[in-house]
Structure 1
Amino acid sequence: MQSRLRVQGHPIQPMLVTFPFGLFVSATVFDLTDVLGGPAFLGEVGYWTSVAALFAAALAAVAGMIDLWDVPGGRTRRTAVTFNLVNVAMAALFLVACLVRADAPQRGANVVLLLTEIVALGVGAVGVRLGARLVRRFDAGRRAEATTFDALGGVSGSTVDLARFRP
């Protein structure tokens, strides 16, 4: 399968998925620090980090839906659909947490919202596992395992005579 959205031969969607997940983890860490008694501004930083992650998740979801058109039917398609639905579920849980905090004066987190974010990250971990399975399935046979120099993109088909470089 070739993704429709590519940059220099690499699919965009797997790259885009890393941004929201990393931002959601960061937001949860900020909120955890806020709940444990850290500076109050960390709750607001966690809120705005979640908002940025939601925008990144929307971009990744659009790219995922475009790529879904080219996924062959059967088990692979079910895995791809499940992967996209799991990522949407994670984003939806964070969206609920953001909407609850939107009207608060300092947008700080509380224990219930922090637990919601932790559950969302657990859901996201399932998505990471499904995404890794999809990448392995689509890249199987297309590239060598990176255990030799040639597999890492070395000069293929040529050798270097080291005797020429001895003094």
Structure 2
Amino acid sequence: MVTVDSRLKVSGHPIQPMLVTFPLGLFVCATLFDIADLGGGPAFLGEVSYWITVAGLVAAALTAVAGMIDLWDVPAGPTRRTVVTFNLVNAGMAALFVLVCLMRAGTADRGANGGLVAVELLALAVGAFGVRLGAVLMHRFDEAADDATTFDALQPTAEISAGTIYRATAR
């Protein structure tokens, strides 16, 4: 079996699953600011939330680049499908926040409304699934035999499913 090293790693682990927390954290902050804006907070909260969302999109783009660099070296098979799914889920979250930015770009104060917050909450749910999937990938690295720096160490014994993710994160 040919092993492939992750090109971008920290302490032997690929950094892309770790980087996902940055855009997700920024998106959570933006959503909290929007909820506070809807709840009667100061008017500037909507503007701050908009710019936090933009920062989150920049972080998501950098995370996607790291994911594509690592994906380049993943051999075909179940691990590649898992990594592709992980990247697609995170891209879906970012796409929903792009929609949020487009929804508020035409407004003067870039304030929040109920529909905008609903889209943000949906995007955060998608992002939470991506984080769980990333945790499963990182868990596989930790359980790998001797060399947890290769993608071959991630080869699952069975396909990943929602049940597998639930069982791995419910411990």
Shift of residue 6 of structure 1?
2.6
Shift of residue 138 of structure 1?
2.6
Corresponding position: 1:130 with 2:133: yes
Residue aligning to 1:41: 44
Partner Cα distance (2:11, 2:138) in 1: 17
User: Structure 2 length as normaliser, TM-score?
Assistant: 0.78
**Deviation by residue 1:38-94 (Cα, 9 ceiling, x = unmatched):** 111111111100000000000000100111122232222111111100000000000
Bigger-Rg structure (1/2): 1
The number of residue pairs the alignment matches comes to 143
Q: Secondary structure of the residue that 1:2 maps to in structure 2?
A: coil
| Structure 2 residue ranges without an equivalent (≥5) | 147-171
Partner Cα distance (2:35, 2:99) in 1: 17
Residue aligning to 1:149: none
- Identity over aligned residues, as a percent? 68
Q: Secondary structure of the residue that 1:83 maps to in structure 2?
A: helix
Partner Cα distance (2:130, 2:15) in 1: 17
| Structure 1 residue ranges without an equivalent (≥5) | 144-167
Shift of residue 8 of structure 1?
5.6
Higher relative contact order (CA 8 A, sep 6+): 2
Q: Secondary structure of the residue that 2:141 maps to in structure 1?
A: helix
Q: Secondary structure of the residue that 2:144 maps to in structure 1?
A: coil
Corresponding position: 1:121 with 2:124: yes
Corresponding position: 1:103 with 2:106: yes
Q: Secondary structure of the residue that 1:85 maps to in structure 2?
A: helix
Shift of residue 7 of structure 1?
4.3
Partner Cα distance (1:45, 1:104) in 2: 14
User: Structure 1 length as normaliser, TM-score?
Assistant: 0.80
**Deviation by residue 1:75-114 (Cα, 9 ceiling, x = unmatched):** 2211111110000000000001101111211111100000
Matching residue's letter, 1:86: V
Residue aligning to 1:159: none
- From 75, 78, 83, the equivalent of 1:80 is 83
